[in-house]
Amino acid sequence: MLIVSVVGARPNFMKLGPVAKELASRRLRHVVVHTGQHYDGDMSDAFFRDLDLPHPDHHLAVGPGSHAFQTAAVMQRLEPVLENLRPDLVLVYGDVNSTLGAALTAAKLGLRVGHVEAGLRSRDRTMPEELNRIVTDRIADLLFAPSDDAVDNLRAEGIADEGVHLVGNVMIDTLCQALPRARTFEAPRRHGLEGRPYVVATLHRPSNVDHAGTLRELLETLRELGRSTPVLFPVHPRTQARMASLGLRGDGLRLCPPLGYVEMLGLVASSSLVITDSGGLQEETTFLGIPCLTARPTTERPITCTRGTNRLVPSRRTALLTAARDALRRGPGPRPVIQWWDGRTAQRMVQVVCETVPAPRRSDPRVAVSLSASS
């Protein structure tokens, strides 16, 4: 059996780690293709080192560009790789442009597709990621759902149950494996935050950073919050470029470049509050029991709000400041326990793969030929 994993951005890398380790433990052939969607070394190569991921067997070097450019470039550059390998299964992860481009390419070549983190929905089609999720799930043969609500979404969209597998949240596998190392890294001490309350903030969504007025208001909000509680702000390359073009500065904030996963996890795990627009941080803070404010009107991870520590807040100064000060005053509550978020998702995923692959795709013409011959 030959499995190909296609990854291209930081959230993909964190999902790949546990799957790669489990495939290796079962001695299954595994080829990793890095599309290069995240072209910044701090956002890409550093994560492969930090998480001890297998070195990519192929690097497509797609780089920056519009959504259409990146998706098309992934398809053009991935097609000859898959034609040469003819794998039994192509695994795609999450909801970035690389996810959609790889799923389309594999499906058009008649290859089976597995979608890791299937079924998540924000119901906001202005988000490019939402369109990537919907289309990828329609294409995939194996849909690995992280939670009950994801399964419900797939059923509501008419996707047959036989392809849907509730396996849990693979990002929690990565967190569980990395947390001991993150604790010993002592990131709060390295940043001068040890023994005191502090806030971690991240912003990168187009809805927050591409609109000058919104980005300016968010920075002013963080700056005001920073007058009473230190705010550590690792700046995403997209956000940094936007701030530079608008002449915006981070006075009053503790700005730093993007951090490696272990260092960032150590900071989040010891923080008093996280303010973000990242999907992954919503999940990580829920598992860790850290209060989280998500500066978005919707989330594709509603379980982090209904059963976790996350709260959706408008990207507006008054709303964010009020929610942040309230969260800091109340402090963390009991750490939520969510079924299937137990650090063993990759084991369940690979077991499904071993039981169902190789097998013809649902629409594989070989199936029709076989049935016709037998009749």
Alpha-carbon distance of 361 to 274, in angstroms, equals: 43
- Residue with token string 């701090």: 42
Contact between 39 and 127 under an 8 Å Cβ cutoff? The reply is no
The predicted structure's pLDDT at residue 43 = 58
Q: Catalytic: 191?
A: no
Alpha-carbon distance of 353 to 370, in angstroms, equals: 23
Alpha-carbon distance of 266 to 190, in angstroms, equals: 11
The predicted structure's pLDDT at residue 89 = 98
Q: What are phi and psi of 2, to 5 degrees?
A: -120, 125
Q: Which domains does the chain have, with CATH numbers?
A: 2-169+341-362 (3.40.50.2000), 176-330 (3.40.50.2000)
- Beta strand segments in the chain, E: 2-7, 29-34, 58-59, 89-93, 113-116, 142-145, 164-166, 199-201, 231-234, 254-256, 273-276, 292-294, 310-312
**Active-site residue (options: 34, 38, 191, 204):** 204
The 8-class DSSP code of residue 90 comes to E
Neighbours of 104 (CB within 10 A): 21
Q: Rounded mean pLDDT of 266-283?
A: 96
pLDDT in tens, 102-147: 999 999 999 999 999 999 999 999 899 999 999 999 999 999 999 9
pTM of the model: 0.90
Work out the pLDDT band at 333, boundaries 50, 70, 90. confident
Share of the chain above pLDDT 70, in %: 93
Q: Rounded mean pLDDT of 318-346?
A: 94
Contact between 257 and 235 under an 8 Å Cβ cutoff? The reply is yes
Contact between 280 and 11 under an 8 Å Cβ cutoff? The reply is yes
